[in-house]
Amino acid sequence: MTAPTGRRRPAYDAASLLTVAVAEFNTRGYDATSMEDLSRAAGITKSSFYHHVSGKEELLKAALTRALDGLFGILSEPESLSGPALDRLRHIIYRQVEVLQSELPYVTLLLRVRGNTETERWALARRRAFDASIASLVAEAVADGEVRAGVEPSLAARLLSGTVNSISEWYRPGRPGSDALPGEVVRIVGEGIIPPA
């Protein structure tokens, strides 16, 4: 099919439409994005869009699943499952940064959900489960004497996740230092920034 300007319209499938939708959701906000907005961004009619997906909620679920699968996949890696707790924690933080880098639009969307829909509430519950896994690992590291005594595991897990998640606000692919970012985050988290008084 040829567009009115004479250019051929791009061929879309569910995966490429998801890419368009995630960009629109991140720009406009999920609630403020209509199917009209999505079809306009894709350069196709709404009926063509509906040929591939049932609606916004399906796209949101697919996008959030992609981000969450990336994060939960880390917990199943051999380096996350065996060895000293602190080494496993370092590996998970390193890989969290890598997943954020490789799935930036999807993780950004995940971090912006507020629980306004069933899909968003599902995603928030999964995020809490991920944080609980990190808190459990921190508690193990404290018990093993690998982390400073008195560290409250759930607070530490929130701070670690907050540190990694904040990267989505300023990270841009291709900038100098991108390849070293996961290791630098692990180093700074481990060593700290402000020396003790």
Exposed e or buried b per residue across 26-62, where buried means at least 16 C-beta atoms within 10 angstroms of its C-beta = beeebeebeeebbbebbebeeeebeebbeebeebbbb
Instruction: Name the CATH superfamily, with its identifier, for domain 60-191.
Output: Tetracycline Repressor, domain 2 (1.10.357.10)
**pTM for the full model?**
0.88
**Structure confidence by residue, pLDDT tens digits, 56-107:** 999 999 999 999 999 999 999 999 999 999 999 999 999 999 999 999 999 9
Q: Which residues of the chain have pLDDT under 70?
A: 1-11, 197
Instruction: Yes or no: say if 42 and 20 are a contact pair by the CB < 8 Å rule.
Output: yes
CATH of domain 14-53: 1.10.10.60
Residue ranges of the chain that CATH labels 1.10.357.10 = 60-191
Amino acid at 143: A
One-letter amino acid identity for 32? A
Domain with CATH 1.10.10.60 in the chain: 14-53
Residue position matching structure tokens 């699943």: 65
